[in-house]
Amino acid sequence: MAPPMTLPNDLKNNECYLHWREEKLTGYPANIDELMVNVDDPSAPNGQQIEALVDKCRKSNMAIYVGPEQIIEDKNIPINLGASLGLKQVDGSLTTEGDGVSELAVADNGEKSAYIPYTDKPLGWHTDGCYNDADHLVHGFLLHCVRAAPKGGENFLLDPEIAYILLRDEDPDFIDGLMQPNALTIPANIENGKVIRAEQIGPALSINPTINALHLRYTGRKTYVTWLDDPRIKEALEFLQLILNNDTKYVFRVKLKPGSGLVGNNVLHGRTKFYDGEDPETKRLFYRIYYLDRITNT
Ligand SMILES: [Fe+2]
């Protein structure tokens, strides 16, 4: 089977866009099961499994690897799996350990507990690394489930190329608005009067023609974020929220099991609130890695 066509670099050209759009939507996965690949050892996927995962990422910008359901605390599992898909440029966030793997679990106290990923609260729609500069955009990510909570902790997902299509079909001006170089500002992160992360101003939507990548910076949160005051952006965001909050057929939902994970090209995502159990084995733990690479650059 020929690999699905990658994003053309001249999306401004409507004919080219329509051709890409048709190919993108033809045979697009109808449900989350179509994104799944069984992998008997996620720390060492075989060639066939790697190819299947890459193919799914080419089509949908994401894939789910389903490993044997068991609890193994080993960060080498996601590191090796990511590397086998060509993800090697690990990016760190403020709360990432030296190896680039963040351990997402409920942190009762300490600096991490100030960040929602380290709580059991719901996490709204966003893409990762909105505060990264243009030279360090997060293009890929991996989420590996070590332990799941007995209740909640479901992820919801939307391919940003689908979001692009839905926005452009509704009104091409939405795209122009979101592509403005100052569309989205994430203010500086200041702790005790000290800037620990600088303000970041950039487009919400951008296309990198050298790597055939559409990149989306988006966060649904209302605080610590400033959108450019422009009617096209305002309407685009309202429309996007409608898509995200109404579970269109393109929004996938999954509750990852221990030993399984999600790899993707920084798709729109979030998670529901979860409830840890009393037993240590029922306290949710996910490993997360951000990458500067994409999965589909071949
Ligand atoms: Fe995230």
How many whole angstroms from 243 Cα to the centroid of ligand 1? Answer: 18
How many CB atoms within 10 Å of residue 87?
24
How many whole angstroms from 2 Cα to the centroid of ligand 1? Answer: 31
Q: Is the pLDDT of residue 298 over 60?
A: no
How many whole angstroms from 284 Cα to the centroid of ligand 1? Answer: 16
Backbone angles phi, psi at 52, to 5 degrees: -65, -40
Tokens linked to 136: 């360090």
How many whole angstroms from 290 Cα to the centroid of ligand 1? Answer: 9
Sign of the Cα pseudo-torsion (53, 54, 55, 58, in order):
positive
How many whole angstroms from 270 Cα to the centroid of ligand 1? Answer: 6
Residue 296: per-residue pLDDT: 74
pTM: 0.94
- Stretch 270-296: mean pLDDT, rounded? 94
Nearest to 269 by CA among 163, 158, 114, 177: 158
Question: Which ranges of 26-75 does DSSP label H, i.e. alpha helix?
Answer: 47-60
How many whole angstroms from 128 Cα to the centroid of ligand 1? Answer: 5
CA atoms of 287 and 105, how far apart (whole Å): 9
Q: What is the pLDDT of residues 184-239, one digit of tens each?
A: 999 998 888 898 888 999 999 999 877 778 999 999 999 889 999 999 999 999 99
How many whole angstroms from 101 Cα to the centroid of ligand 1? Answer: 13
How many whole angstroms from 6 Cα to the centroid of ligand 1? Answer: 24
How many whole angstroms from 93 Cα to the centroid of ligand 1? Answer: 11
How many whole angstroms from 29 Cα to the centroid of ligand 1? Answer: 22
Burial class (CB in 10 A: 0-12, 13-18, 19+), 138: buried
Residue 167: per-residue pLDDT: 97
C-beta of residue 287 within 8 angstroms of C-beta of residue 78: yes
How many whole angstroms from 139 Cα to the centroid of ligand 1? Answer: 12
Nearest to 78 by CA among 104, 52, 117, 51: 104
C-beta of residue 63 within 8 angstroms of C-beta of residue 72: no
- Stretch 149-177: mean pLDDT, rounded? 96
How many whole angstroms from 13 Cα to the centroid of ligand 1? Answer: 32
Domain regions of the chain by residue span: 14-291
User: Per-residue confidence at 6, pLDDT binned at 50, 70, 90?
Assistant: low
CA atoms of 49 and 37, how far apart (whole Å): 7
How many whole angstroms from 189 Cα to the centroid of ligand 1? Answer: 17
How many whole angstroms from 269 Cα to the centroid of ligand 1? Answer: 6
Q: What is the pLDDT of residues 85-109, one digit of tens each?
A: 999 899 876 666 678 899 999 987 7
How many whole angstroms from 99 Cα to the centroid of ligand 1? Answer: 18
How many whole angstroms from 69 Cα to the centroid of ligand 1? Answer: 23
Ramachandran assignment for 233, one of left (phi > 0), alpha (psi -120 to 50 degrees), beta (any other): alpha
CATH homologous superfamily of 14-291 equals Clavaminate synthase-like (3.60.130.10)
